[in-house]
Amino acid sequence: MTDAFTSDAAVTWWRDEAVMHRFISDLVASELSAMRRTAHATTGALTPETHLGRDLGVDSLELMGLATALAQALHMHESGIEDYLLVHQTLGDWRTIAQASLEKFSARMTFLTSGSTGQPKSCVHALHALWQEVQEVAPLLSGCTKLFVAVPSHHIYGFLFTILLPRALDLDSRSVLDLRKSSPARLSRELREGDVVVGHPEFWRIVMRVIPAFPAAITGVTSTAPWPVEIDAGLRAAGLHRMVQIYGSSETAGVGWRTCIDEPYELFSFWQRADHATNLLIRQGETEGIQTPDLLTWQGERRFLPTGRLDHAVQVGGINVFPQKVRRALLSHPDVVDAAVRLMRPDEGNRLKAFIVPRDPGTDAVKLSEKLGVWAGQRLGAAEQPRAFSFGTSLPLDEKGKQADWIIAPLR
């Protein structure tokens, strides 16, 4: 196991062509899906020969957006060669340009938040800080010879656990197997003693359904959302040896870890509490603190439990409203199994919208929408009432299993 930041294993992650291609492919697929508001080419379908214009139909505006996203992620402005991305349009060309850029500057990277609690925002991280984190995680997974991954590599969790962590464990790219190209049922055929599986709660929920029994000594890793008790119990009943739960966010990177759902998280050694603040942390060597996305309840100086999101009120007509309050009101309707509430996109309006999972999948969406409008009017203030309802069999999720935005469609 490498033990110093100066190791080439960390600072030259981009020299592995397969790893660099995976990073760029994940970013391109994700950005195109967001631009076109539809699922697009899977990462597995993108090869170094894939031409953005000829094969993916990328127009000039989309090309500008993709090039900007990659340049921003890798800080290509620091090396000054980002304009080449607009000239050369195969993914292999972009890999070569990105590698040349990173040879000149690689000290920082930018990751975007998922936007699950608002508009996506940019989060800059020093590479040495990310490497510091995986150096602390690697001992928890020592002995791992194969890593199965179900998360995209261009998001911070995926970058940490599918690009840097394998290098900390001395695994080459052939030992990192992407599960997003196949059903999680593949695990039942390919898992061997000692393997590690990196996923997120919704991925693990599916795994729980399709794998009745795990081989010996399989370790799971999860992050991006709270870890449900029922999934933890189901996986343990199927013989999963251990689940490493990582608490963190795009803004903070990893904050702490635990392996037992009943225990508090352990703060990574490079974090310190800022005075007596409950959710303000200071990273080793830095002076400014950063807020965690949740309120933290501390048990001593180094152990904590997240105890609820910070205030995420949104404004409707100049009035603060709380989507979670609206969601609770909708969930109290007997025809509703689950619901998500958020502010409309700018092109949809300036009110709240709701996504509803009906108890009866065959329900008449128009009639239920009318009933829910009346229901909300009886329980919520004018600014709190959703003005558009969408329906589906499950809440919309992004590729990491976190709640995602949706487009309001006409009801039928």
Average of per-residue pLDDT across 295-322: 78
What are the pLDDT digits (tens) for 325-336? 899 999 999 999
Query: Chain centroid to CA 387: how far?
Result: 29
266 contacts 249 by C-beta, under 8 angstroms: no
Count of other CB atoms within 10 angstroms of residue 409: 10
Q: How far apart are CA 376 and CA 367, in angstroms?
A: 14
H-helix or E-strand spanning residue 8:
helix 8-11
Say if residue 6's pLDDT is above 50.
no
Count of other CB atoms within 10 angstroms of residue 18: 13
Average of per-residue pLDDT across 316-320: 63
344 contacts 405 by C-beta, under 8 angstroms: no
Identify the pLDDT of residue 347: 80
Q: How far apart are CA 17 and CA 19, in angstroms?
A: 5
What are the pLDDT digits (tens) for 51-105? 999 999 999 999 999 999 999 999 999 988 888 999 999 999 999 999 999 999 9
Token pair of 366 as six digits: 């128009």
Compute the half-sphere exposure of residue 358: CA atoms within 13 Å on the CB side of its CA: 16
Helix residue ranges, H only, 219-291: 229-237
Q: How far apart are CA 329 and CA 307, in angstroms?
A: 22
SS3 108: strand
What are the pLDDT digits (tens) for 199-222? 988 789 889 989 999 999 999 999
* pTM of the full structure: 0.78
Say if residue 338's pLDDT is above 50.
yes
120 contacts 114 by C-beta, under 8 angstroms: yes
Say if residue 38's pLDDT is above 80.
no
Query: Please, what is the average pLDDT of the chain?
Result: 88
Band of the pLDDT at 179, cuts 50, 70, 90? very high
Burial class, 107, CB count within 10 angstroms (exposed 0-12 / middle 13-18 / buried 19+): exposed
SS3 323: helix
Residue of higher predicted confidence among 5 and 53:
53
Identify the pLDDT of residue 116: 46
Identify the pLDDT of residue 3: 41
Say if residue 1's pLDDT is above 60.
no
